Amino acid sequence: MFTVPIIERLKREEREILIFTHENPDGDGIGSMIGLYLFLKKLGKNVTAAMKDDLPYIYNFLPAVDEIKKLPIDKVFDVAILVDAAHKGRAGVEIKAKEIIRIDHHRGGEFESMYDYVEVTSPSTTFIVTQILREWDENLIDKDIATCLYTGLITDTGSFRYNNTDERAFEVAKFLVSKGADPFYISKMVFERNKLSTINLLQKTLSTLEIYGEGKIAILTVFRDFLKECSALEEETEGFVNFARSIDGVEIAILMIQKEDLKTWRVSLRGKGNVNVQQIASHFGGGGHKDAAGCRIIGDYYEIKNQLIQKSKEYLHNEALIVV
């Protein structure tokens, strides 16, 4: 029977294991991290789950969230497992470990070890983690673990609406529901607990909407002042870019978020057509997937916005750059 190298590697690991994910963590990163953490803990492994940022509010219903540690940790781990990120730098802090293993579905990532499990066609990293855990010991997957893994599946597929949703996504969803994941409860906890501050912030953000490229490019901006005025946190902008994307005819949606230093901009890109937004993001030093990517740019707002619009237009008009 085919065995997954990472399973063999972790089976024999008795020393200290760290599981970590990217900064500004999303449901897939957090779900993968906690799901794998709970599984390894059940096996009696010496395992720690950690990330740089605070847990976004919408994921506070997940099991074991109070066991997540804060990075950086001043200790050298024997093995560190990076989930849902293209390379260890995405953690946002230095990771001290003798060996790093990557479990991920991002394109264009870095090779961290011979035990890496990277499958770019997977709808989510929790999808890959589910495959690993099923192969390892399906009976150890309980309701808590299934809840974490299902959460990553619905957040990365937009509740089975994005083009990474395929037959396998439903098959894994079915399996996770059979293990106790409750679709209604999880959806309600993730998507239907908006704070009033979030809706106020959304209102301000939507007022910045600009359309370019004959209706194919939509841009939204979250200025730092908005966060203050609404008493909102940056994490509350999660999903805002989808309002730009949802407009009829839009093929490239852009959300610019002003960081604390006022000159750094976190940019989220979403695609809904033939354009590969990852290529636009990588032009600015970022990365991601065909339909969801991001980057950070430092500089003047208008200049950066213009650069993003120009690059987007180039990709819209140049068929040769289009990857279907």
Residues that bind Mn ion in the complex, under the rule CB under 5 A = 28, 84, 125, 156
Q: What is the 3-state secondary structure (H, E, C) of 202-227?
A: HHHHHCCCEEECCCCEEEEEECHHHH
Nearer to Mn ion, 156 or 238 (CB): 156
Nearer to Mn ion, 266 or 305 (CB): 266
Token output for 263: 């000159």
Nearest approach, Cβ of residue 63 and Mn ion (Å): 20
Contact (CB, 8 A) for 200 and 227? no
Q: Which helix (H) or strand (E) holds 269?
A: strand 264-271
Nearer to Mn ion, 31 or 213 (CB): 31
Q: Which residues contact 210 (CB under 8 A, 6 or more apart)?
A: 218, 219
Q: Where are the beta strands (DSSP E) in 121-193?
A: none
Nearest approach, Cβ of residue 16 and Mn ion (Å): 26
Give bridge partners of residue 101 from the DSSP assignment.
81
> Among all residues, whose Cβ is closest to Mn ion?
28
Nearer to Mn ion, 125 or 279 (CB): 125
Nearer to Mn ion, 28 or 251 (CB): 28
Nearest approach, Cβ of residue 52 and Mn ion (Å): 17
Nearest approach, Cβ of residue 270 and Mn ion (Å): 14
Nearest approach, Cβ of residue 195 and Mn ion (Å): 24
Contact (CB, 8 A) for 273 and 251? yes
Nearest approach, Cβ of residue 55 and Mn ion (Å): 17
Say how far residue 92 (Cα) sits from the centre of its chain: 14
Token output for 57: 């509010």
Nearer to Mn ion, 125 or 151 (CB): 125
For residue 104, give the amino acid letter: D
